Amino acid sequence: MDDILLMLPGPTTVAPRVLKATSDNIVNHRSAIFGEIFTETTELMSEIFKTKNQSYLITGSGTSAMEAAIANILNPNDKILNVVGGKFGQRFMHIANEMGADTQELTVEWGDAVSPEQIKEALDKDENIKAVTVVHNETSTGVSAPIEEIAKVMKNYDALFIVDAVSSLGGDRVEVDKFGIDICVTGSQKCLAAPPGMAAITLSEDAWKVIDKVDSKTYYLDMKKYKKAGSGTPPETPYTPSVSLIYALAEALKIIKEEGLENRIARHEQAAKATRNAIKALNLELFPKEEVSSTTVTAVKMPKGITDSDFRGTMRNKYKVELAGGQDHLKGNIFRIGHMGNISYKQLAITFSAMEMTLKGLGFNIDMGASLAAVNEAYL
């Protein structure tokens, strides 16, 4: 199982020193020694979120943090505007529905991004919208939403701005305080390059004003309990946390700090550009509009005449490179290359070598070396 190169939009390859941290001895999560590790980790999280506010760690998937974002701000029938242009936008709306919200769907074509004007229009039309959910990086379609520009629009309205940065934080620009994001959530296994199973959330003062007046819809994800436990001595989580994964997350965040967040984002941008150029060099077609394409995952239309299992199956079984497929109605119609976390020219060289051989083997007339040349040129 060690020899498969994961080119997925999460989980990403985890560095040996992070894996090593995962296997440290377990300490009591209600002890001063853990309090120190916990504080260090949440402070590092806030640095990555670029916020002066507290970050909270949730033992759960990114989805648990999405639910926390919704469950803590809702009174029954509150209106939530959900931008839906892919699977994770849908998920945010489904969560809001299950929590009893009156959800308003702002539909965006899969492969395109919402515009700030569309948000403005929706907010102008209904002054009772309590919050807007936007998926920054729609992993299912490889689209990046213009959250900085949306945030500028949102400053003129009372609605809370909730951003899913699960597959962007640490790989694309997310500046929570500067942009003016009220609630931002992320997951451990994407650009942060830690093992899966931890989520993080940060909340603005405006968000807390709402939360303090609302009964949380869940007990496990009740952020008031996280706040209370997090401000105790020692600081801790309300329920037993995943100690091993906090060790790992701390180590992964230290690596980000060592690299520098700006350098890391530039590295992701370079990988994205190299990937798109390589795809074009193979005469394959990007799924999203290029101007809104993601910095961390590239979605590509499946070449005509081959099946997903032929293409990705060969990539995986013969060449040991694992790509992601399409989800829901895109199943079989696209494939996705994750270039997040510890991504460099090396993984792209392997991936496009494999892709060229796979396509050639499946009978495509490939200009051998063209995609590899495109990668090299993007990196030179």
**Biggest alpha carbon distance in the chain?**
65
Q: How far is residue 138's CA from residue 157's CA, in Å, rounded to a whole number?
A: 24
Q: Give the shortest CB-106-to-a copy of itself separation in angstroms.
A: 20
What is the identity of the amino acid at 198? M
Interface with a copy of itself (CB under 8 A), residue from 239, 320, 360, 377: 239
Q: Give the shortest CB-118-to-a copy of itself separation in angstroms.
A: 25
Q: How far is residue 170's CA from residue 191's CA, in Å, rounded to a whole number?
A: 5
Cα 322 to chain centroid, rounded: 19
Determine the interface stretch with a copy of itself among 16-24, 150-158, 174-182, 271-279 (rule: CB under 8 A): 16-24
Interface with a copy of itself (CB under 8 A), residue from 157, 220, 345, 364: 220
Determine the interface stretch with a copy of itself among 237-245, 273-281, 284-292, 351-359 (rule: CB under 8 A): 237-245
Q: Give the shortest CB-138-to-a copy of itself separation in angstroms.
A: 16
Q: Is 218 in the site for a copy of itself (CB under 8 A)?
A: yes
Q: Is 347 in the site for a copy of itself (CB under 8 A)?
A: no
Interface with a copy of itself (CB under 8 A), residue from 61, 118, 277, 353: 61
In sequence order, the 6+-apart residues with CB closer than 8 A to the CB of 211 are 72, 73, 203, 223, 224
Determine the interface stretch with a copy of itself among 28-36, 79-87, 111-119, 354-362 (rule: CB under 8 A): 28-36
Task: Return the structure tokens found at 198.
Answer: 């931890």
Q: Is 78 in the site for a copy of itself (CB under 8 A)?
A: no
Q: Is 14 in the site for a copy of itself (CB under 8 A)?
A: yes
Footprint of a copy of itself on 303-342 (CB under 8 A): 322
Q: How far is residue 177's CA from residue 32's CA, in Å, rounded to a whole number?
A: 30
Q: Give the shortest CB-2-to-a copy of itself separation in angstroms.
A: 5
Q: Give the shortest CB-151-to-a copy of itself separation in angstroms.
A: 26
Query: What beta strand segments (E) does the chain contain?
Result: 5-7, 55-59, 79-84, 102-107, 129-135, 137-138, 143-144, 160-164, 183-187, 198-203, 297-301, 321-325, 334-338
Rounded to 5 degrees, φ, ψ at 80 are -120, 130
Determine the interface stretch with a copy of itself among 14-22, 81-89, 112-120, 152-160 (rule: CB under 8 A): 14-22
Q: Is 357 in the site for a copy of itself (CB under 8 A)?
A: no
Task: Return the structure tokens found at 291.
Answer: 């101007």
- Asked if 341 and 312 touch (Cβ cutoff 8 Å), the reply is no
Interface with a copy of itself (CB under 8 A), residue from 35, 79, 94, 370: 94
Footprint of a copy of itself on 240-269 (CB under 8 A): 240-245, 248
Q: How far is residue 208's CA from residue 223's CA, in Å, rounded to a whole number?
A: 9
Q: Is 350 in the site for a copy of itself (CB under 8 A)?
A: no
Q: Give the shortest CB-307-to-a copy of itself separation in angstroms.
A: 17
Task: Indicate if the alpha-carbon torsion angle 258, 263, 268, 270 is positive or negative.
Answer: negative
Footprint of a copy of itself on 157-196 (CB under 8 A): 187, 189, 195-196
Q: How far is residue 260's CA from residue 252's CA, in Å, rounded to a whole number?
A: 12
Q: State whether residue 106 is helix, strand or coil.
A: strand
Site residues (vs a copy of itself, CB under 8 A): 1-2, 4, 6, 8, 10-14, 19-20, 22-29, 31, 33, 59-64, 67, 71, 91, 94-95, 98-99, 187, 189, 195-198, 215-222, 238-245, 248, 322
